[in-house]
Amino acid sequence: MQHITGIARNQMVFTSLEDSISEDNSVRFVDAFVENIDLKALGFELQMLKTEGRRSFSTQTFLKIYLYGYLNGLRSSRKLEKECVRNIELQWLLFGLVPNYHSISDFRKNNPSGLKKLFKVFVSFLKDADLIAGETIAIDGTKSRAHNSKKANFNQKKIDKHLAYIEEKTQQYLDELAQNDEKENSVTITKIQEKIERLKKNKLGYEVLEEKLKASGEPQISTTDEDSRALLVQGQVVEVSYNIQAAVDAQYNLVVATHTINRNDRNALSAIAIEAKENLGIETFTALVDKGYHNGREITQCKEQNIITIVAHPDQGKSNENGTQPDYFVSKFIYNTDDDTYTCPANQVLKTTGRWHKKTRDRDSYDFKKYRTPACKECPVKSLCTSRTGGREIDRSQYADAVAENNQRYQANAQLYRKRQEINEHIFGTIKRQWGYNHTNLTGLEKVNGEHSLIMLVYNIKRAINILGVPELIAGSIPLTV
């Protein structure tokens, strides 16, 4: 016989599940990890022992299922139930138990807080294992599609457009109704009346939606998942999604902090930076962040928390024939700390009255002072500096000192900043492109936060296994403190 033959299917084989799982199989770490955690202390909903009826599965069983599932690209509860039957690794992990898909699904929905705390526990373990240095941390975000289509997301402009269309179609049907009344076409009249009634119901629905939007105080509202928002994903592309924030340590590219928000990055820096500091229990670190996070208030809050920021500053404003030319951008004006003045490129001094003004934009506000000089009226280069009749005016915000310090660090540490992409960009590529975790089927910010924390936990587990190996990781995780 030319080909290799296998075992006869009706032949009896004596073996055990234990013999089927190698010592370096990642499922062994999942088992050791879950068995040595106090799930009650982390806030997981524990399955209580019943005196009557069918006994329930333990909380540890469901956590093992999801850790194994996400490690292997499986997050559908129905698929996980099937795997419990046919997958020998899950049979070993669960001692042959097979929970139904509904119970598996409920565990993930009911324990978002526990999953977030579990991620933090593992970060502490990685820090104790010297896999996290806590010196340089790159911060970035990525969008995850929400369980809410664009059609089910509305702002005032979109609602007005629908209401205007309904008014237009209603008038059109009323005109048709009047014409058919003269012809006494009863069948056509009935059909038109049905269409008008349907439009009235649709109009009522949009009016209710408009009231909800105004009551929420938000610029948009989603109907399937109320917490999801239409966010700018790339260029001009907008998707109804969530924004996953992640802080990644530079030593082994491990995630040290993560949470999910439903807004863009502009107001997100301080929260994720402070979370990283608290998770690691450190006094300070250097944060590398892209220009989408450049916000004076956020940079100032990081400074107050002793976090050193290197945030890329946005590009300078564009010049035009009748506007400010590059040589006269604000960055060319020198601020004099001693007397609180600015010196312009023409060597004129701009002074302030010391009065504070307030500016509000995009749900953000800050105080600022204005700086002017009467020399602008006779300045020979005024046309290159400003098109403003009264002359050039410089605004200096209350956060200007912290922003200036950050910008100086950015200019002085170009080589260090270039490492930012190397540290954290590939993590999102792995999670979204390789693993396919580019969307969520859960609804509500809290539940989505729980799932994304689970994804980041699994990423850290995989990376730690690649660095140390399963036996060494198990040896270091017992006992694992909460």
pLDDT in tens, 326-362: 888 888 899 998 999 999 999 999 999 989 998 887 6
Which pLDDT belongs to residue 430? 93
- Count CB-CB contacts under 10 A for residue 177: 15
The CATH number given to whatever domain includes residue 251 is 3.30.420
In a domain, 7, yes or no: no
307 and 412, same domain (yes or no): yes
pLDDT higher than 60, residue 319? no
37 and 110, same domain (yes or no): yes
Which pLDDT belongs to residue 15? 83
Lowest mean pLDDT among 153-167, 182-196, 412-426, 433-447: 182-196
* Mean pLDDT, residues 55-80 taken together: 94
28 and 118, same domain (yes or no): yes
Partners of 343 in the β-ladder:
334, 349
pLDDT over 90, % of the chain: 67
Banded model confidence at residue 479, pLDDT cuts 50, 70, 90: low
pLDDT higher than 70, residue 413? yes
pLDDT higher than 70, residue 429? yes
430 and 333, same domain (yes or no): no
Which pLDDT belongs to residue 12? 86
pLDDT higher than 90, residue 239? yes
pLDDT higher than 70, residue 480? no
Which pLDDT belongs to residue 323? 72
Lowest mean pLDDT among 49-63, 66-80, 93-107: 49-63
306 and 428, same domain (yes or no): yes
304 and 205, same domain (yes or no): no
Tell me which residue of 298, 220, 232 sits closest to 266, measured CA to CA.
298
Q: What is the pLDDT of residues 151-174, one digit of tens each?
A: 999 999 999 999 999 988 888 888
393 and 427, same domain (yes or no): no
184 and 302, same domain (yes or no): no
In a domain, 72, yes or no: yes
Domain total for the chain? 4
Higher pLDDT, 365 or 437: 437
Which pLDDT belongs to residue 195? 84
Cα→Cα distances 13→7, 8, 89, 94, Å: 9, 10, 18, 22
Which pLDDT belongs to residue 48? 67
268 and 347, same domain (yes or no): no
0.85 exceeded by pTM: yes
Ranked by mean pLDDT, the top range of 67-81, 361-375, 382-396 is 67-81
* Mean pLDDT, residues 86-104 taken together: 95
Higher pLDDT, 273 or 378: 273
Which pLDDT belongs to residue 8? 87
Q: Give CA–CA dist 143/139, Å, rounded.
A: 14
Which pLDDT belongs to residue 185? 61
In a domain, 450, yes or no: no
379 and 430, same domain (yes or no): no
Higher pLDDT, 281 or 324: 281
Higher pLDDT, 126 or 481: 126
pLDDT higher than 70, residue 187? no
In a domain, 391, yes or no: yes
Average pLDDT, the chain: 90
In a domain, 1, yes or no: no
In a domain, 11, yes or no: no
pLDDT higher than 80, residue 182? no
Higher pLDDT, 319 or 258: 258
In a domain, 2, yes or no: no
Tell me which residue of 271, 292, 274 sits closest to 284, measured CA to CA.
274
Which pLDDT belongs to residue 184? 62
Which pLDDT belongs to residue 443? 94
Which pLDDT belongs to residue 387? 86
Q: What is the pLDDT of residues 467-477, one digit of tens each?
A: 999 999 888 76
Lowest mean pLDDT among 52-61, 135-144, 251-260: 52-61
236 and 356, same domain (yes or no): no
pLDDT higher than 80, residue 28? yes
In a domain, 79, yes or no: yes
Which pLDDT belongs to residue 190? 78
Q: What is the pLDDT of residues 431-446, one digit of tens each?
A: 999 999 999 989 999 9
* Mean pLDDT, residues 2-10 taken together: 87
Give the range of the structural domain holding residue 40, as residue numbers without chain letter. 18-129+456-478
* Mean pLDDT, residues 37-53 taken together: 78
Banded model confidence at residue 363, pLDDT cuts 50, 70, 90: low
